[in-house]
Structure 1
Amino acid sequence: MSLTLQLNGNSRHFPELPADATLDLLVKELALQHDRVAVELNGEIIARVAWEQAALKDGDRLEVVHFVGGGCLSKV
């Protein structure tokens, strides 16, 4: 089985995810660092500690924000 999810407004097919996939598995599949990601599932922000229990269903809507560090504070 596979899942088709709405990811950041775009339909995306995940043939490698099992029918009982969780949010934790999706974040791993996307190769994102767990400590730099925030996820909203069907309009609700899901705490990182709940990702392993957050089951995904075909057609779920997700917004994934990946935080990136960097920049320079020196004066030009």
Structure 2
Amino acid sequence: MKEQEELIAKINELAHKSKNGGLTPEEAHQQGVLRKKYLENFRASFRSQIEMMKVYDKEGKEVTPNKVKEIQRKKGLRDD
């Protein structure tokens, strides 16, 4: 989590610098790389949350999508 916070801080620092006076070509490249890394981390975290989720309807019946169930079975998270 600390890595993600540091990543966001550096992205924000470069964004402020960009708005106030511009970035050097190296800083612009670094900004792109950092943004890409942030999105990769975000997507991996989000995917993990979705893969761990079970969905239930109002009657208490599980209605988790089959695609998610299959992923959970492959990861050993389900035994049905």
TM class by shorter chain equals under 0.3
Considering only CA atoms, is the larger Rg found in Structure 1 or Structure 2?
Answer: 2
The structure in which a higher percent of residues are strand is 1
Q: Which has the higher contact order (CA 8 A, sep 6+)?
A: 1
The structure in which a higher percent of residues are helix is 2
